[in-house]
Structure 1
Amino acid sequence: MSDKKKGDFFRTPGEGPIKVSYIFPNGDRYEGECSKTPSGVLMRGGVGKHTSTDGVTYIGEWHDDKMHGRGTLKHSSGALYEGEFKDNMYHGAGTYTFPDGSTYKGQFHENRLEGEGAFANTHGLVWMGEFHGKAALGLKMQLNI
């Protein structure tokens, strides 16, 4: 190890986050905070950046080794999600930008569009209303007069 105190890496549970830089066996990388479980296992917890070998990047909050809290997930396709996560899923308020540039801004529930939201296409037309997964009955187009 570098100039870190020997005790920095081997803290007991509950002593706060530990800063790490880790390369997984598959080549993925994580830089950020971890915490030690009562059994001594290090888990991502706090704020960090995970970069996968296939070009997916997550920067944000972690809890119990899962994306949890506020964060940004960029897919290799160019799609981007910025918002709230729960147990590795889009959950809460967020904005999803599709690879073509169209966006959905609103509520998510377990990776699904769920609740009040607005979809804007690449021509600037905006539809607002209740979204329920793939269904969005009764949407209203926003008029810009």
Structure 2
Amino acid sequence: MSVEGRVKVSYAFPNGDRYEGECCTSASGVMMRSGTGRHISANGLKYTGEWHEDKMHGRGTLQHPSGALYEGEFKDGVYHGAGTYTFPDGSTYKGHFHENKLEGEGVFSDARGLLWTGQFHGKAALGLKMQHNI
């Protein structure tokens, strides 16, 4: 099926990865993931969402074999924009990402359910405030 130059494919890569979704042909004649699709790597990493020029780009969900989960925006294959990252221990960060790093206003909920709000800058989060439920 072809939509706007895209075709739906089901492809198994030589390394054991699998992709099901939309593709298009580049100007050089190479078939690239473009549109929506699901990629499952041989090591258990799963991405479902939007693709552009063979990279995760747009909205999507990335499940890691460790149990970590990212739901949100991607740009050129990395977390970029608004999203939620759930760590294997159940703690979460909801906020902004810039090139795979926590960046800007966000909320961190630890494994006990305590909420921390403030500005995040990569691994630094100076001036966080804990939300009290009284």
* TM-score over 0.5 for the pair: yes
2:70 pairs with one of 51, 72, 81: 81
Shift of 1:15: 4.1
Q: What percentage of aligned pairs have identical amino acids?
A: 73
Report Cα offsets for 1:13-33 as digits up to 9, x if no partner.
x94211000000101000000
The answer as to 2:119 corresponding to 1:116 is no
Report Cα offsets for 1:32-57 as digits up to 9, x if no partner.
00011122111000000000010000
CA distance in 2, matches of 1:85, 1:143: 32
| Residue 33 (structure 2) aligns with | 44
Structure 1: gaps spanning 5 or more residues: 9-13
Report Cα offsets for 1:52-106 as digits up to 9, x if no partner.
0100000000000000000000000000000000011000000000000000000
Within-5 A mapping of 1:22-101: 22-101=11-90
| Residue 103 (structure 1) aligns with | 92
1:126 pairs with one of 104, 108, 115: 115
| Residue 10 (structure 2) aligns with | 21
Q: TM-score, normalised by structure 1?
A: 0.89
Structure number with larger C-alpha Rg = 1
Give the aligned length: 134
Q: TM-score, normalised by structure 2?
A: 0.96
Letter in 2 for 1:19: K
CA distance in 2, matches of 1:95, 1:55: 20
Deviant stretches of 4+, over 4 Å: none
Structure 2: gaps spanning 5 or more residues: none
| Residue 132 (structure 2) aligns with | 143
